Each structure stands twice: as C-alpha cells, then as structure tokens.
C-alpha cells in the first residue's frame, strides 16, 4: 500500500506519516521504485497513533502506548496508569484555564467598553493599583 492509501485509511496526513517514519514510530518497507510500502501491521500502528494523538497523548506517550500495544504480556495496569496521568494533566490545564478565565471575566465586567480611553483592563495590565504588584513585593521580601 502506498503512502496515499495509508493516509486515507489511517486519517493521518501524508506529511505526518513521513514524519512518524523519521522519528521511528513506523517502519514501512520500500518497493523497488523507492515508494514506501505499508503492510497491514503498519496501518494498524498508524490508526493507533491517529487515535492516541487525537486523544491528546504526546508523541512520547504514544511511543510507550505502542510498545504496550504490541507487548502480549503487558499489564493493563500500565496502560491505565499512563491514561490516568494524562487525565491529571488535563485537569491541571483545565484549572489553569478556568483561573485565567475568571481573571479576564472580572476585567471584562469592570470595563464599560465604550469609546472613552479609560479602561480597567489596561490599568490591570500596566500594573496599576492592585494585586499584580504582589510579585515584586514578594521578590523584594526574599
């Protein structure tokens, strides 16, 4: 199977597949004309990668998951652990974003948003009165 067909079957762009070969995630054979020749096992790996990446696993985690995928003696606990770590990571990111959103929403609420120049958002960014001097204050204490 040529790379175009593999791309179609896996849902991965051609460029991405070549990149995955470059970093050793897949090792297709070569036809006599130099074209990559993907077997069914290669295609399985590509589909696996497509799904794992779409679930947010990093390339390195995908590498781990792939080796578990192909390890007939794997412990499902190992897979579960990686997945749980990923969930924790997602939780941290969500919390971070929510806290960002809170700050920005407060600022938006405080800003009248008309054609006058005075703006609590700009005031905050320029470190006007309030909490944002804490950073330096804390550094100065240390």
Provide the binding-site residues for its own copies, judged by CB under 8 A.
Answer: 8-9, 11, 44, 47-48, 51-52, 55-56, 65, 68-69, 71-77, 79-81, 83-84, 86-87, 90-91, 93-94, 97-98, 100-101, 103-105, 107-108, 111-119, 121-122, 124-127, 132, 135-136, 139
**Shortest distance, position 64 Cβ to DNA, whole Å:** 12
**Shortest distance, position 15 Cβ to DNA, whole Å:** 4
| Binding track, positions 24-53, relative to DNA; x by CB under 7 A | -------xxxxxx----------------x
> Which pairs with CB-CB distance under 8 Å and at least 24 residues apart come from 51-58?
55/86, 56/86, 56/90, 57/82, 57/86
When binding is defined by CB under 7 A, the residue of 59, 94, 97, 108 that contacts DNA is 59
**Shortest distance, position 45 Cβ to DNA, whole Å:** 13
């Amino acid at each position: 199977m040529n790379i175009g067909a593999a791309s179609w079957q896996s849902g991965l762009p051609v460029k991405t597949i070549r990149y995955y070969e470059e970093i050793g995630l897949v090792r297709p054979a070569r036809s006599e004309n130099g074209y990559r020749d993907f077997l069914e096992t290669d295609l399985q790996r590509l589909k696996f990668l497509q799904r794992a990446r779409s679930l947010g696993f990093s390339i390195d985690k995908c590498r781990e998951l792939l080796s578990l995928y192909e390890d007939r003696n794997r412990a499902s606990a190992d897979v579960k652990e990686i997945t749980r770590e990923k969930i924790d990571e997602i939780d941290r990111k969500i919390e971070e974003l929510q806290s960002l959103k809170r700050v920005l929403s407060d600022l938006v609420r405080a800003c009248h948003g008309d054609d006058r120049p005075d703006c609590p958002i700009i005031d905050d960014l320029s470190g006007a009165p309030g909490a944002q001097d804490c950073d330096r204050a804390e550094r100065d204490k240390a």
